[in-house]
Amino acid sequence: MFNLGNFLSLSTFGESHGPAYGGIITNFPAGFKVDLDEVQHQLDRRKPGQSAIVTQRKESDTVKFLSGIFEGQSTGTPIGFLIENENQKSRDYDHIAKAYRPSHADFTYDQKFGIRDYRGGGKSSARETVNWVVAGSLAKQLLPEDVEIKAYVSSVGEIFCEKPYQDLDFSRIDSNDVRCPDAETAEKMISKIKEIKKEGNTIGGTITCVIKNLPIGVGEPVFGKLQAELAKAMLNINACKGFEYGSGFCGAKMTGKDHNDLFNEDFTTKTNLSGGIQGGISNGMDIYFRVAFKPVATILRPQESFDTQGNAVTVEGKGRHDPCVLPRAVPIVENLAAFVLADLFLINKLRKYDM
């Protein structure tokens, strides 16, 4: 398996119904005082069972650090960590041991490896993201203190948060179950998810992420462009179907005259359709991007499919599943973005020699 990151690097292990998840972070600088309570806080934001609109699997998601941290400081050696699985119900998956679920990784994993762990999808399970949250919440602490990374649910199905991010109070993101800072829109989103859940169905949507106060110069000129590294990280999230930053696809409808961000005297820009990135490098303006998520593939309704021998079968989801991934994906987006930024920030430290 490949790692996340270029200099700051994360490798992971674990399956949804195995004994534990975990990872190893390399090249984390030595002598850095780490806030382990903040790491656990971010895991708590991601964990299942938080509300009626997410899966009811009960996991404490308590992280244990095995190496690389001594007396609250990083030692410069690889940071190893472990998160035990506590509430697996593998029998919920016995019925698909020989059948392929539509839009899941069952078929592709079987064809690639010749074997698959059908319990919760094995390595393809979104529970893998616990590792990413640990790594990202540690990595964020390497960034300057004033760097702010905030993500929120900006749409569920056809329900959109119409307010621009500049008009939203990010302190209210965690004030409701769906993690949309606009209370009126959040109420509509929650009602829609509950309605879909009663039908045994699922629904998708988008998450918007805003990064403020990132220093100018982060990102590499060619193959390590900031937007490309962010996109790569986000598109690795389970159920992610799209990424756009700045003007995104709307920019394709514009002319250069309307799209160009003109400079102010202090080299900020009058507009920010570039999304805070030019030439793959941060320019000091807000970085903002949007991530699209499909509906969860497991639905609690019968669907036609085929088994491993090519025989027609009917499959139906059982057990505990998210009707919508968005609320729990918010901390995943934030912490993955933090890991990408910290990785490129450390690389950038090598680009200029300061006497």
161: CB partners within 8 A, 6+ apart: 152, 153, 154, 155, 168, 180, 181, 182, 185, 208
pLDDT at 1 over 60: no
**Crossing angle, helix 129-139 and helix 326-349, to 10 degrees?**
40
pLDDT given at position 263: 96
Q: What is the full DSSP assignment across 177-237?
A: TT--S-HHHHHHHHHHHHHHHHTT----EEEEEEEESPPTT-S-SSTT-HHHHHHHHHHTS
Q: What is the full DSSP assignment across 298-320?
A: --SS-EEEEBTTS-EEEE---S-
- Classified as helix, coil or strand, 63 is strand
pLDDT at 174 over 60: yes
Average pLDDT estimate for 223-233: 97
pLDDT given at position 355: 45
> Which of 90-104, 268-282, 324-338 bottoms out in mean pLDDT, i.e. has the lowest?
90-104
pLDDT given at position 99: 85
Average pLDDT estimate for 330-334: 97
Average pLDDT estimate for 207-221: 97
